[in-house]
A and B are shown apart, each in its own frame.
Chain A
Amino acid sequence: MLDVRGLKVTFAGATTPALRGIDLRLDKAKMVVVGANGSGKTTLIRAVLGLVPPTAGSIAVDGKDVRTIRGEPGLSTNLAEIYRLMSLPVRDLVRLFALLKGGDPAEMEGHLRAFELDPVLGKRLYELSTGQQKLVGDLFAVCFGPRLVLLDEPFDNVDFARRRRLVGLLRALPADILLNTHELELLGSFADWQLGLMFEGQLLGPFSVAELDRLYLTRGDAPEALAVLRTSVGLFSVTRDAGDRPVKSATSLTALVESLA
């Protein structure tokens, strides 16, 4: 269970915050967070992982403050930097992380075979293609019994057939999932998941992916607003069934806001 309250992150030397008061609760749920590059999606994941110190607010995983968590193997991620613990071939990394997580390496080896990635077992991470690195990270994230999975752009550089297989794997995974993506066209695969919209460090939602077709963005602070977005070019409201522009019509939230500004 993930509980984020009023999370703010400002990087040293930055004039604007990367996250501006995120509130998020994930309890027996799966959520897709959609946002443009630079909107703060990855920073949110890195903050939950304890890799970025919050400027304000709190992050709790299973009721424990992230800053004090030690030795709790239930949270996993696909971020490649997490698997650079040692420079070893993938086969050894699988065994190492199975040991660290208390899992069975055969589980991950089975997934690698199913994704036709057996050839990577003898290679080191830096010897893999970008797509292979991403998939190996994705598979590390779903293996060894995680309770909470944080996925950052898990489909980037992944071919169509493996995307479909990965979608099936994620949908069947018995864990809470927070999945970041900037690709709106992928959302149809996650119709029964929650939806969060990330823009300039603000997270709007949760909505339902299934209701995406009914969500609109309207300039100004609309009285019937489901959520209000404060941007550098003014206020925008997320409304249901009526509004200036359908959210789904844009390739990204940024493009949508810019079209209304």
Chain B
Amino acid sequence: MGRTLFDKIWDEHVVADLGNEVALMHVDLHLMHDLGGGPGFRMLAEKGYRVRNPELTFATADHAVSSAPGRTEDTNPVGGRLLRMLRAASAANGIRMFDLGSDGQGIVHVIGPEMGLSLPGMTIVCGDSHTCTHGGVGALAFGIGSTELVHVLATQTLVQRRPRRMRVTMDGAPAAGVTPKDMILHLIGLVGAAAGSGFAVEYAGAAIRALGVEGRLTICNLSIELGAKIGMVAPDDATFEYIAGRPMAPKGEMWERALAHWRNLNSDGDAEFEREVRFDSGALAPQVTWGTSPEHVIAIDGRVPDPDGAIDAGRRASMRAALEYMDLKPGARLEGLPIERVFIGSCTNSRLSDLRAAARVAKGAKVASRVRAWVVPGSTGVKRAAEAEGLDRIFRDAGFEWREPGCSLCVGANGEMVDPGKRCVSTSNRNFVGRQGPGARTHLASPVSAAAAALAGCLVDVRKLGVEPWKNS
């Protein structure tokens, strides 16, 4: 029987078979960030271990740094302390760090692919659940906790259970105004936020093949919101073109060897998946969340569902609590709902293609007076590239704030939050209770929907603005 993409990468990384589908796996790349990095090194030292393979470990600062224009490392004082801990520990352990202001600094899931660190066929881990993002280049990547992080530092391996395999096939071609973010949000709404629990997900189909790597990274990023800690797309020519020439990518003869290897990374025709899901991306409308789980999502022209229609008591309870927190009623329309904040950024949607798409919507228009709108590029590299083509000017002229790279408003770990009771249209990945600040009400949406909401001052159907189809960069 054929093997899936996941199986091929998994099998290649087994250091020891521990029986019952448990294996000691080699970790090819370990990425660290400011929030978990310093504490991780401290735990390592407390346990009396040392870093086994510093050359396979890279660090950057993203979670706790301020995104304020002109920031210093102490703009957020707690973040400054975490940054210095990480810097000192990285230096002491021989680990390369992409520090504030340098090329390569940025959200860890943006810089990995951008710097050519994240490559097809690799096992990649990071103490952050959105590590699944790197599956967009065809890597087997997943988030880990602090004890597992120490395990990786000390041994360059992890004990893992082989997950079941799920394939999600997205057919067709999305309409104008429908982006990779809408495709993955729709999927989560369709199958639920726990559907991927225990699975590694492979995204396939014409709509995925047509996407550039940045769109695939967005799709894979939300795998964890589907419940799956691993999401991936088989690498193809688009992937190889994206990686070629990046600072840390293989070069010359090494590139040719790597490429020959990567061309085998795909699911065999007769490979079997324990679960298959399929839908037509051509039938989708722009998606927006109404509640406090990413599964609480509807089309922008739809209506908020009634909890009484849910089958399970647990789901009903979750929906009722969400409606109360979000101050919404069953049957309500989201279109026209007034908002106060817009956040375009995060490891989901802060890459150049995201900013270009949002800028096309913002160009020549004005942010509504009731709205404070932020654009936070995902990395120093994205920021420079965007500025080189004048995107910052388009955003600023329209009344958006153009900020410094980091996790910013996605995570509430850097002093940047949405005030209690305020509504924020956010291109991030979590609409959890209090995620953007205590009492903050988050509506997840695509970069173009978020930009359109900033201009309108309310949730709006971006298709009515005559938006262009999604473009890959």
Chain B associates with chain A: no
